[in-house]
Structure 1
Amino acid sequence: MTRIVHLNGQWLPETEARISIFDRGFLFADAIYEVTAVIGGKLVDYAAHAARLKRSLHEIGLGLPCAEEQMLALHREIVVRNDLKEGLIYLQISRGAEDRDFIYHDGLAPTFVMFTQARNVLGNPRIERGLKVVTAPDRRWSRRDIKTTQLLYPSLVKTAAHGQGADDVFLVEDGLITEASGANVHIIDRSGTLITRALSQAILPGITRASVLEIARAGGIPVEERGFSVAEAQAAAECFLSSATSFVMPVVEIDGQPISDGAPGPLTRRLRALYLEDRLAAAI
């Protein structure tokens, strides 16, 4: 089935959607994006994703292209139009199109795009075996707290990681892990404490990250927000990623060194189950 996408107020078959070659999202990556998971035809953690979208837009001087209520309605409509039972909704908003110049001008009409990806997000086989990751220097720009479409470096290093037989890459700056290519990183130490990097401009404020920490604290799991090194992660009892596309995903190897016994850990499995139970019950 041909996907139906949303482009600047129109519903179109994906083959008919067109954007100007002068769009600043294309020329300068001058754009923000968000991604929301869909399970059972319902939106997971939508309110938090919508709030982060507004914040990211504000940080680059843009506003929502429509009212908040309409944004929610569009998410629900794209699910229906594509009969999406399970998968993802991607949304991108660029500053708009004008002749190429580093200096942009006020009053441009933003380009607003939405599309879906049907995907088995619950039954990903990597959940059972866990991920193998390698490390690379973090050479992204310094405002990683803004969810922009500037994803070239993560794309390059993740592709290189796949070439080495790994599933993903951990980015390292000043001796500490910042993020994976598109997810927050967490470890569980030998005492059972969940450790994750504190929020700052160095990492994205992950929606799933926030939900996992909330659920962990509610479940009596100690949480510590601080940086940690590759060596500490390798020596941890467990390691996992969190993101809207994979929820809670175990990591079992870093740079060829197994974590603990090289299998997804029990606390990671518990957190994934608790997260899904809690967020699916609240999906809209």
Structure 2
Amino acid sequence: MSRIAYVNGAYVRQNHASVSIEDRGYQFADAVYEVWAVFDGRAADLTAHLDRLERSLRELHIAQPMGRASLVVILEEVIRRNRIREGMIYLQVSRGVAPRDHFFPATPVKPSVVITAKPVDRDAARRKAAKGIKAISQPDIRWGRCDIKTVGLLPNVLAKQTAREAGADDVILVDSNGYVTEGGSANVYLVSGDKTIKTAPLTANILPGVTRISLISLLKSQGYTVIEEAFTLKDAYAASELFLSAASTFVMPIVDLDGHVIGDGMPGDVATTLREAYIQEATHSAGVWSASGNNNL
């Protein structure tokens, strides 16, 4: 079946979809995006992703493209038209189409909206998580506003490609002070032996992950102490567990970092239990959203 995309008001076959070559998302990476996991045909963490999208647009002074209720209808329609039961849905909003100029368009233009969806093999992802992954560390060379979810991901791409060429599955990024910031496309957590979880605090170089919010709540409800505090590679090597979180991977254990075996070299109880708990909660809450707050999005 041909995949269907939503592009600026029309549902089209994805292989026929297009945007203008003067779209500022293409010319300048002047765009933001969001990704939702889809469980049983419904988007998970719907409201939290919409909230973050609104913030990203506001930080870049990009106009909100439509009302929130209208956007939810379109997201659901893209899922339906692609017959996605278990998968992902991707939304991108750019500043719009205008003659190439580093300045914002003098006359405001309509933002461009693109939405696509695809199925995901959850059994394959489950097997990967049960085995755990290898990662390497790389310098964090991203721009200083990683708290905004922009499409400017070239540093992430280069870091992930370096990991692949080194025979690893993912990458851990380290800032100029030696502190772990994030994974290539995920937040990072370490577990110490005293039921303590550490993850980097939300500063300008950390993306406020929506999955991160849910995981921290779940961990606290299970009696863990969650500390939002910077940690080093040395701390990561010595952790009893190390894992990533993202909407695309949920919870992914790291069992080897830079050749250092993490814990006993197998996914630990915290990550394994947390992954299943998150999937259950996300499945239960998928499709639920709130119209409260700013309804211009």
Inter-partner Cα distance in structure 1 for 2:141 and 2:153: 11
What residue number does 1:61 align with?
61
Inter-partner Cα distance in structure 2 for 1:136 and 1:123: 27
Inter-partner Cα distance in structure 2 for 1:187 and 1:75: 34
- Matched-pair contact (CA < 8 Å) for 1:121–1:245: no
Alignment of 1:114 onto 2:85: no
Superposed displacement of residue 273, structure 1:
1.4
What residue number does 1:222 align with?
225
Unaligned runs of 5+ in 1: none
Task: State the one-letter code of the partner of 2:145.
Answer: R
SS of corresponding position for 1:198: coil
Task: State the one-letter code of the partner of 2:16.
Answer: E
- What aligned pairs does 1:81-230 form with structure 2 within 5 A after superposition? 81-105=81-105, 106-121=107-122, 123-124=124-125, 125-173=127-175, 174-230=177-233
Task: State the one-letter code of the partner of 2:19.
Answer: I
Give 1:259's match in structure 2, choosing from 252, 256, 262. 262
What residue number does 1:22 align with?
22
Task: State the one-letter code of the partner of 1:96.
Answer: G
What value does the CA root-mean-square deviation take over the aligned residues? Answer: 1.0
Superposed displacement of residue 221, structure 1:
1.1
Aligned residue pair count:
284
The share of aligned pairs that are identical, in percent, is 40
CA deviations on 1:93-145 (whole Å, 9 max, x unpaired) are: 00111111111124111110000121124641211111100001000000000
What residue number does 2:47 align with?
47
Inter-partner Cα distance in structure 2 for 1:191 and 1:5: 48
Task: State the one-letter code of the partner of 1:279.
Answer: A
* Greater shift in the superposed pair: 75-84 or 101-110: 101-110
Superposed displacement of residue 175, structure 1:
0.5
Inter-partner Cα distance in structure 2 for 1:90 and 1:18: 15
Task: State the one-letter code of the partner of 1:150.
Answer: G
- Matched-pair contact (CA < 8 Å) for 2:32–2:150: yes
Task: State the one-letter code of the partner of 2:10.
Answer: Q
Inter-partner Cα distance in structure 1 for 2:4 and 2:282: 27
Alignment of 1:239 onto 2:242: yes
Superposed displacement of residue 23, structure 1:
0.8
Inter-partner Cα distance in structure 1 for 2:59 and 2:7: 23
Normalising by structure 1, we get a TM-score of 0.98
Superposed displacement of residue 63, structure 1:
2.9
SS of corresponding position for 1:199: coil
- Matched-pair contact (CA < 8 Å) for 2:63–2:95: no
Normalising by structure 2, we get a TM-score of 0.94
- Matched-pair contact (CA < 8 Å) for 2:144–2:204: yes
